[in-house]
């Protein structure tokens, strides 16, 4: 490993951090696993966000209520368990630009996508197809294929995968619109990732939603990489439904509970098929133990079971943080921080087998930048960055390394470390 200085200006990074500090002090930063710095330069918040310092005490308070109250905690806990999930509804709604009745936090992401597809994927006549992007996260791909099979359809023909143009890495909005223009009358459901997990591309959610609905399709979004990363206005954009997880940008812990949005126009629709349980009913009648449910006209009607309280605490704590800091301010810092990382990568990628595949336009991406590795293994590069420099990225087979400077806790100096480590680790082309 070379320790010679690179051309990158470390002092500039320090100055930028002093001028534009973020909220790192609110998080536990893991120790570095190599290199000369004590803390990791953590770029994997798009995979698993870091732990807020407040989470442990809040979780311990919920545990103490159980210890002290047993079953009576349902009504008497500091945060009573029966209506606990309602504490998450309004902050989650604010985060995604929804009305409170359109939002619920429950289950995990793929489970929620299935529950929503039970209601919103209803193939009929010519209109049977589900459209995803070719680089959709594999779980979404498996979920839609299994939904097609569930309806007795052949997934190889029922699922359409939209691909970038030959030689390009990201999907163009105009190509999605052209597809809908051409074949929209065969589409039952359009289900895309708001921010693509692999390339970091932010889709034009309002424009694609409008076009999909004009074509007569239902439009749903997987917002795993968008929630807490980019500002969203799901209600105003007319999105039919959406789901997201809370363990990435929402920092709620591994496997954390997920969020759901259902547009208000669907909430009172009694003709929608839905899988129900006792938590799908009105709270006021839930304990009458009636044999037939009375679902509320809200996203709560998609809940099935009583919620896991100790999993809700970390989501509540995290959403409070987003309320405090504000998505607008976070996005503004995110654009500055990712723009800075991009500038540094532009200094080190020429002459090396590294290409940024994420769109250049800040309006078309969140905080993540994805690098395509032209030589060697992406996994090996990520391993060396971590163990030789304390820079935590992640690799996606076969050739992508993802770096997400997260505006809540990442620093300009982290970005400097990433670019410096890449320059030291990846040899220039001969």
Ligand X SMILES: Cc1ncc(COP(=O)(O)O)c(C=O)c1O
d(CA 313, CA 310): 6
Beta carbon of residue 191, minimum distance to ligand X (angstroms, whole number): 10
Binding part of the chain for ligand X, among 133-141, 164-172, 301-309, 401-409 by CB under 6 A, reads 133-141
Are the C-beta atoms of residues 411 and 40 closer than 8 Å to each other? no
According to the binding rule CB under 6 A, does residue 222 interact with ligand X?
A: yes
d(CA 287, CA 298): 19
Residue numbers 60-79 binding ligand X by CB under 6 A: none
Helix (H, G, I), strand (E, B) or coil at 346: helix
Beta carbon of residue 87, minimum distance to ligand X (angstroms, whole number): 21
What would the two tokens of residue 106 be? 């429950």
- Determine which residue in the list 95, 224, 250, 371 makes contact with ligand X, applying CB under 6 A: 224
Binding part of the chain for ligand X, among 84-92, 207-215, 222-230, 281-289 by CB under 6 A, reads 222-230
Measured from the CB atom, the residue of 225 and 352 that comes closer to ligand X is 225
d(CA 143, CA 45): 24
Measured from the CB atom, the residue of 255 and 273 that comes closer to ligand X is 255
- Determine which residue in the list 98, 109, 148, 378 makes contact with ligand X, applying CB under 6 A: 109
Beta carbon of residue 258, minimum distance to ligand X (angstroms, whole number): 6
What is the distance, to the nearest Å, from the Cα of residue 287 to the centroid of all Cα atoms in its chain?
35
What would the two tokens of residue 261 be? 């949005």
Q: In Å, how far are 30, 47, 86, 177, 419 from 38, measured between CA atoms? A: 9, 22, 40, 49, 18
- Determine which residue in the list 35, 193, 259, 366 makes contact with ligand X, applying CB under 6 A: 193
- The closest alpha carbon to 196, from 175, 159, 220, 223, belongs to 223
According to the binding rule CB under 6 A, does residue 108 interact with ligand X?
A: yes
d(CA 199, CA 356): 9
- Lay out the site mask for ligand X across 235-264 (x = CB under 6 A, - = otherwise): ----------x-------------------
Instruction: Give residues in contact with ligand X (CB under 6 A).
Output: 108-110, 137, 139-140, 193, 197, 222, 224-225, 245
């Amino acid at each position: 490993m070379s320790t010679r200085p690179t051309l990158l200006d470390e002092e500039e990074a320090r100055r930028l951090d002093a001028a534009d500090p973020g909220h790192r002090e609110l998080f536990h930063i893991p120790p570095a696993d190599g290199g000369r710095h004590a803390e990791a330069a953590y770029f994997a918040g798009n995979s698993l966000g870091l732990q807020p310092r407040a989470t442990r005490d809040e979780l311990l308070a919920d545990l103490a209520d159980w210890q002290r109250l047993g079953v009576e905690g349902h009504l008497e806990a500091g945060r009573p368990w029966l209506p606990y999930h309602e504490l998450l509804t309004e902050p989650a709604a604010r985060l995604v630009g929804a009305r409170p009745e359109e939002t619920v936090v429950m289950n995990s992401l793929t489970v929620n996508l299935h529950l929503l597809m039970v209601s919103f994927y209803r193939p009929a006549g010519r209109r049977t197809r589900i459209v995803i992007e070719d680089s959709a996260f594999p779980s979404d791909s498996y979920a839609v294929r299994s939904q097609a099979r569930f309806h007795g359809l052949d997934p190889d023909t029922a699922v359409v995968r939209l691909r970038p143009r030959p030689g390009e890495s990201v999907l163009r909005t105009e190509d999605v619109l052209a597809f809908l223009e051409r074949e929209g009358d065969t589409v039952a459901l359009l289900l895309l990732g708001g921010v693509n997990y692999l390339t970091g591309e932010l889709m034009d959610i309002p424009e694609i939603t409008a076009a999909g609905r004009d074509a007569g399709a239902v439009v749903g979004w997987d917002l795993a990489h968008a929630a807490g990363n980019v500002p969203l206005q799901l209600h105003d954009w007319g999105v039919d439904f959406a789901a997201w997880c809370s363990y990435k940008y929402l920092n709620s812990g591994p496997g954390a509970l997920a969020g759901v949005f259902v547009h208000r126009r669907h909430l009172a629709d009694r003709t929608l098929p839905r899988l129900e349980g006792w938590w799908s009913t009105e709270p006021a009648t839930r304990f009458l133990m009636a044999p037939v449910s009375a679902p509320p006209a809200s996203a709560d009607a998609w809940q099935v079971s009583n919620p896991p309280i100790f999993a809700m605490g970390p989501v509540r704590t995290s959403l409070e943080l987003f309320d405090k800091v504000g998505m607008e301010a976070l996005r503004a810092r995110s654009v500055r921080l990712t723009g800075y990382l991009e500038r540094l990568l532009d200094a080190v990628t020429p002459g090396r087998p590294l290409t940024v595949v994420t769109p250049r336009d800040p309006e078309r991406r969140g905080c993540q930048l994805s690098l395509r590795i032209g030589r060697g293994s992406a996994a090996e590069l990520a391993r060396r960055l971590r163990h030789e420099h304390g820079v935590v990225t992640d690799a996606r087979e076969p050739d992508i390394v993802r770096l997400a400077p997260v505006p809540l806790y990442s620093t300009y100096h982290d970005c400097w470390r990433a670019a410096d480590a890449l320059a030291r680790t990846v040899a220039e082309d001969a």
